[in-house]
Structure 1
Amino acid sequence: MSIDGRDIRNRNPDVQWHVSAFQAPRSGADPTGQVRRLQELRARILYDNGRRPGFRDAAGAHVDDQELDYGAWHFVARRHPDGPVLGYIRLSTPATGELFQSRAYLGEQQYEQLLAAEGAGVEETFEHSRLVVEHRARKLGLGAYLNAVAIGAAHYLGAKIMIGTSGTRDGQDQFHGRFGFHPVPGTRCYVERYTEEVVILLHRTAAGAGEYTDLVGRMCAEFPALTSGDLGVPTSGDLGVWTAGGLESRDAPAALVQAAVPDGDGWQPVLLEPNHAADYAALTALLESGRVTAVHDTITAQLAELIRCREPDRRYAGAELERKIEEQLAGVEAWAYGSWVWYPWSGRLVHVLPRAEYRLVRTDRNREKIQRPQQRGLLDRRIGIVGLSVGNSAAVTLALEGVGGAFRLADFDELSLSNMNRLRAGVHHLGVGKAVICARQMFEIDPYLDIEIMTSGLTETTMAEFFHGDRAPIDLLVEECDTPYVKIAAREYARALGIPVVMDCNDRGMLDIERFDLEPDRPLLHGRIGDLRAADLPELSDQEKADLILSMVDAERISPELAAAFGEIGRTLSSWPQLASDVALGGALVTSAARRILLGSHCASGRFYIDLDTLIAPEYNTATALDGALT
């Protein structure tokens, strides 16, 4: 008997599925071996490397021989028309209702009572089952798409209700719940063959299909096109499979869809702990939303590193390391351990250790320079950073070193091409706010940070919000902005609150420290601006403002190159010169000073120069004597 089929494609522009449909003969005839190959495909996926041993016989063959396959509709999915099969689902019609799995599971009497309670006859009841997807295709949204195809077909064929059995261990029942299926009370019990608890699910077609109502409606409308025409019987090669490889996420939620255009504004990651039901549901919905572009899972390697950090005198390997990892997991599946972090601006979904363990491993090599109690103390502090061009280097270095666990970032400006000589960013960041870029970079270092941003920058109206915030006041200010008003007003506010201020000028390695926490009456900028207040600045002329900036940075101590540049700004130069190496050094100096201040180490107010032009000089060369001996 000829098997009719026609390909249909997913209209998602990023992921296309080619689905072939056929209805197997009711007689049980299988002249082409198509049904048998589908049964083998299903059994191999369900066997899942031994998780469900009932789908493999003593001879090692994968077996899922069911009479219910004959007379049922079968939907087979590929990425390309001639590609291997990546997924499959079955839809059984009332013609084979006496063979339904749900009927056998409930027993004749309870099954009939259930249909009667729903006001549905056997001729209006369809069963869908055996949704299987190759592991690598689960991350491309195929499970949800195939489910919609089968449900849409049932709607078209006149189903009043749909019924089926569903596993519960991996949240399959919750996955079907998003299509409008609900569990039948009192039907959940353990089934040996599936090695998990199974429940009966029910779907009323009149109620729509939950979150997927639109997609199911589209599949319902396209079902006639899917089954029309005569494209011949697929050959045996069409049922080849995608071999295992790549990321293994055995028990991960249903799927991953290729993402749309990266987010230009988002800066906050989404943290999901799948051991919590709400987060599991959110994770599954995210994976099926079309917004995730890549999954990165190195949790096993992270666990191994965690064990090495805790027991550095041991070198676990092989089976012994696996045993230690299992002990750490304590019965939790590896995929569900810790957090999954979704970065909406890149579409990446990354698996990381729980907060405390993540930070223990990430900062393990800080020890002896920063001890564990000190590390924990630093993570309890909140740092405010104003000006995120030069300040970006400080912010990222603070995050790298674990100096501060909470940050408040302020900058009104967007990244321009000329900023990229000193601000570490990519061309895809052009036009993106500097505060947004900085927050993203810091969250990609430590997704557990607490970060707030102010994209309007620091102004008279936002000053109080910046220093106090909604959560807690800042403990330290890093000031790296260009505006004289902000430089003075921020210090006035910091002095009134007893907050220390650190500034890097990225010229000659100048580091400025004002310990208003220890010296509440200390003059601003070490007295270099006299009694001038921020409120006085609007009255100053342009020349007076230029003189003010020079007095702030100590005109007699700036480098000759910067001194020469001031006279050329607006004539041959668009702005004053800055180098990435100077900015990177400044980030290191700010971080070192902030760490000392927040830990209570000695770090006095003052202005300090770590001038490499001076320090990398012959008189400081400690290898001179050795060089002479070698010559």
Structure 2
Amino acid sequence: MDDANAPAQWHISAFNVPRYGVGHEGLVGRVRELRARILYDHGRRPDFRADDGSLRDDQDLDYGAWHFIARRDPDGEPLGYIRLSTPVTGALFQSRVFLGDAEYRRVLAAEGVEPNVVFEHSRLVVEQRSRKLGLGVHLNAVAIGAAHHLGAEIMIGTSGTKDGQDRFHGRFGFHPVPGTRRYVEQYTENVVILVHRTDRGAAEYADLVALWSANFPALVAAVGGAWISQQAESHPEPRSLRTIRTGAGDCWRPMLFEPRYADDRVAFGALLESDDVTEVHDTIDTQLIELIRSREPHRRFTDIELADKVTEQLAGAAPWSYGAWAWYPWSGRLVHVLPREEFRLVRTDRNREKIQRPQQRRLLGRRIGVIGLSVGSSAAVTLALEGVGGAFRLADFDELSLSNMNRLRAGVHDIGVGKAVLCARQLYEIDPYLDVEILPEGLTDDTMDKFFRGGESPIDLLVEECDTPYIKLAAREYARALGIPVLMDCNDRGMLDIERFDLEPDRPLLHGRLGDTRAAELAGLTAAARAELILAMVDAERISPQLAAAFPEIGRTLSSWPQLASDVALGGALVTEAARRILLGEDCESGRFYVDLAELIAPDRNTAAFAATR
């Protein structure tokens, strides 16, 4: 948005970073670098320079806040910035830390307000050359206008005094709090607490603040910064272009909004006022009824009794604000769901007796890694459907192609999407509360440790379905060293491979079929050697006649070995059954097992036919 009355044309973008900030670390990092560079001011404030020479301004308040970045031209560099924090992060406010909890509460009491209506604006930074052009005025007006729009009664903040910053804020209706002026080493100047009451207007800039307040919804280019490219300086695209890029790009994580939190209500409102929602699915009423019935399945409720139970469950909350809303940026769908525990209780209700509630909770606490997301995607989706695993780590470097669609569940609009991205989307559409990580670069020597250990979140079980012999062996070497069980479905004759490295730390890889061969020995294989090695891994004498006949034709009359959707679907079921047994500590030993449908559906296995002849 531009203000025609400004001495210069300013392009200001606004975005909100969720309070947990998952997936926004890069964006927050760029914002911090921008602030630190301006605050450092060529050495004037040396505390913003780290020992390694980097410029740092890391603050927890960046998560859960609104951020505003200003440029002179749409494609120009950022020249200024300001942050607006909402009541949900009030415990972290700079002014609260500056004053201490007791003094902070006294300041609010003197103003006659509760913490839930207090916003804080901070980190107003402007490049030296832009200060005389009025950019600081507009950034300040933007933050104050946004706070007015979002329902603030009080704005509070710290202000330096060396360059007259406190007097500058006074022109917007801020007044200093007596007795709060003190020297702060980091800023190399005296700092004072300022307070602004929205009901008293914005002094000489009242009209400008009102303008920005009215235009705040239009200013919000996207929620959560999801549209921001690798260059933080990029300006908002037209919404139609942004929607197309979002749907066809590499986004894969939904955004969750819980209206019980003030900052989520703010972000949710901004999303609804944008053009980024294509469909709204609100079935919370029927979900609540299912929840009530699942808790008392023996009872037959009347309509009045159900209505009373729903009212009791809501406990005073409006139906629209109960639970969470999941926005899926790749489709634009906005979906209302129950709170996490209630959602999962209802979604897995039909698992009971086969998987009891305590077992369900144990399974949801486990993390499963999947390598290779053609065949592996069937396993991952089936695992998620059954509630086997509440966290997943997915690795695949490949993109969906048309020839993959004979066995991989996807639509033609997904062609060209990364397989890891596609699988993550499908998992989140089953359960938006899952914890999913992806390695779209696939599993390599460089990503091996990240995949298996993931910092403080190691995987509990590996599903290995990749096509590269080196990775198949290297992954098993790593799994064996860490004591992680490995499952592999070969989508031919229903062959399931189980290696219990958690119970047998010295077990030979692939049951010793390759002898003492190490992954390091498999680099640079020819196509023929690769095919021969894969045959040795799966046991050439036991594969189906059709697959045996296909191998000599690969690269001649066939582009690759044949695979069928039915075989892949069966593999997903077999992997899930074995994974569930392993993770629950039930009997499931190492070995190879065949569930050959060609044999199981043979005429001599027809029990109905035998019964008819008796």
TM-score (norm 2): 0.63
1:388·1:410 contact (CA, 8 Å) conserved in 2? yes
For residues 355 and 334 of structure 2, the distance between their equivalents in structure 1, rounded to whole angstroms, comes to 31
For residues 475 and 218 of structure 2, the distance between their equivalents in structure 1, rounded to whole angstroms, comes to 57
**Distance change in 2, residues 1:616/1:493 (3 Å):** same
In the TM superposition, 1:230-629 aligns within 5 A as 260-261=243-244, 262-263=246-247, 264-538=249-523, 540-628=525-613
1:178·1:212 contact (CA, 8 Å) conserved in 2? no
Q: Where does residue 151 of structure 1 map in the other structure?
A: none
For residues 294 and 201 of structure 2, the distance between their equivalents in structure 1, rounded to whole angstroms, comes to 50
Deviations 1:23-79 (A, max 9, x none): xxxxxxxxxxxxxxxxxxxxxxxxxxxxxxxxxxxxxxxxxxxxxxxxxxxxxxxxx
Q: How far is 1:626 from its partner? A: 2.7
**Distance change in 2, residues 1:274/1:614 (3 Å):** same
**Distance change in 2, residues 1:216/1:543 (3 Å):** closer
For residues 382 and 590 of structure 2, the distance between their equivalents in structure 1, rounded to whole angstroms, comes to 22
**Distance change in 2, residues 1:511/1:175 (3 Å):** farther
**Distance change in 2, residues 1:179/1:519 (3 Å):** same
1:184·1:202 contact (CA, 8 Å) conserved in 2? no
Q: How far is 1:538 from its partner? A: 1.8
**Distance change in 2, residues 1:541/1:581 (3 Å):** closer
Q: Where does residue 41 of structure 2 map in the other structure?
A: none
Counterpart of 1:495, as a letter, is R
Deviations 1:571-595 (A, max 9, x none): 1111110000000000000000000
2:492·2:544 contact (CA, 8 Å) conserved in 1? yes
For residues 338 and 286 of structure 1, the distance between their equivalents in structure 2, rounded to whole angstroms, comes to 17
Deviations 1:370-410 (A, max 9, x none): 00000000000000000001111000000000000000000
Q: Where does residue 165 of structure 1 map in the other structure?
A: none
Deviations 1:215-265 (A, max 9, x none): 889xxxxxxxxxxxxxxxxxxxxxxxxxxxxxxxxxxxxxxx998324321
1:178·1:209 contact (CA, 8 Å) conserved in 2? no
For residues 619 and 597 of structure 1, the distance between their equivalents in structure 2, rounded to whole angstroms, comes to 33
Deviations 1:304-363 (A, max 9, x none): 000000000112131111000000111111110000111111111100000000000000
Deviations 1:244-287 (A, max 9, x none): xxxxxxxxxxxxx9983243211001111101101111111111
Deviations 1:404-436 (A, max 9, x none): 000000000000000000000001100000000
**Distance change in 2, residues 1:601/1:206 (3 Å):** same
2:146·2:213 contact (CA, 8 Å) conserved in 1? no
* 2:345 match: secondary structure: helix
* 2:523 match: secondary structure: helix
Q: How far is 1:545 from its partner? A: 2.7
| More deviation, 289-298/350-359 | 289-298
**Distance change in 2, residues 1:578/1:278 (3 Å):** same
Counterpart of 1:429, as a letter, is D
For residues 529 and 479 of structure 1, the distance between their equivalents in structure 2, rounded to whole angstroms, comes to 17
For residues 373 and 315 of structure 1, the distance between their equivalents in structure 2, rounded to whole angstroms, comes to 26
* 1:393 match: secondary structure: helix
Identity %: 69
**Distance change in 2, residues 1:214/1:295 (3 Å):** closer
For residues 476 and 421 of structure 1, the distance between their equivalents in structure 2, rounded to whole angstroms, comes to 28
Counterpart of 1:284, as a letter, is G
For residues 184 and 500 of structure 1, the distance between their equivalents in structure 2, rounded to whole angstroms, comes to 56
* 2:403 match: secondary structure: helix
Q: Where does residue 211 of structure 2 map in the other structure?
A: 209
**Distance change in 2, residues 1:559/1:216 (3 Å):** closer
2:218·2:274 contact (CA, 8 Å) conserved in 1? no
Q: How far is 1:292 from its partner? A: 1.1
**Distance change in 2, residues 1:487/1:331 (3 Å):** same
For residues 579 and 370 of structure 2, the distance between their equivalents in structure 1, rounded to whole angstroms, comes to 12
* 1:209 match: secondary structure: helix
* 2:394 match: secondary structure: strand
For residues 214 and 276 of structure 1, the distance between their equivalents in structure 2, rounded to whole angstroms, comes to 20
For residues 433 and 469 of structure 2, the distance between their equivalents in structure 1, rounded to whole angstroms, comes to 34
For residues 579 and 539 of structure 1, the distance between their equivalents in structure 2, rounded to whole angstroms, comes to 29
Q: Where does residue 240 of structure 1 map in the other structure?
A: none
For residues 202 and 610 of structure 1, the distance between their equivalents in structure 2, rounded to whole angstroms, comes to 75
Counterpart of 1:205, as a letter, is D
2:477·2:509 contact (CA, 8 Å) conserved in 1? yes
1:498·1:518 contact (CA, 8 Å) conserved in 2? yes
TM-score (norm 1): 0.61
For residues 364 and 216 of structure 1, the distance between their equivalents in structure 2, rounded to whole angstroms, comes to 43
1:183·1:201 contact (CA, 8 Å) conserved in 2? no
Tell me the C-alpha RMSD between the 2 structures: 2.3
Q: How far is 1:205 from its partner? A: 1.3
| More deviation, 260-269/302-311 | 260-269
For residues 499 and 589 of structure 2, the distance between their equivalents in structure 1, rounded to whole angstroms, comes to 8
Counterpart of 1:353, as a letter, is L
For residues 528 and 152 of structure 2, the distance between their equivalents in structure 1, rounded to whole angstroms, comes to 75
Counterpart of 1:549, as a letter, is I
2:314·2:322 contact (CA, 8 Å) conserved in 1? yes
Decide which structure has the larger Cα Rg and report it. Answer: 1
In the TM superposition, 1:138-149 aligns within 5 A as none
1:209·1:216 contact (CA, 8 Å) conserved in 2? no
Gaps of at least 5 residues in structure 1 are: 1-173, 186-198, 218-256
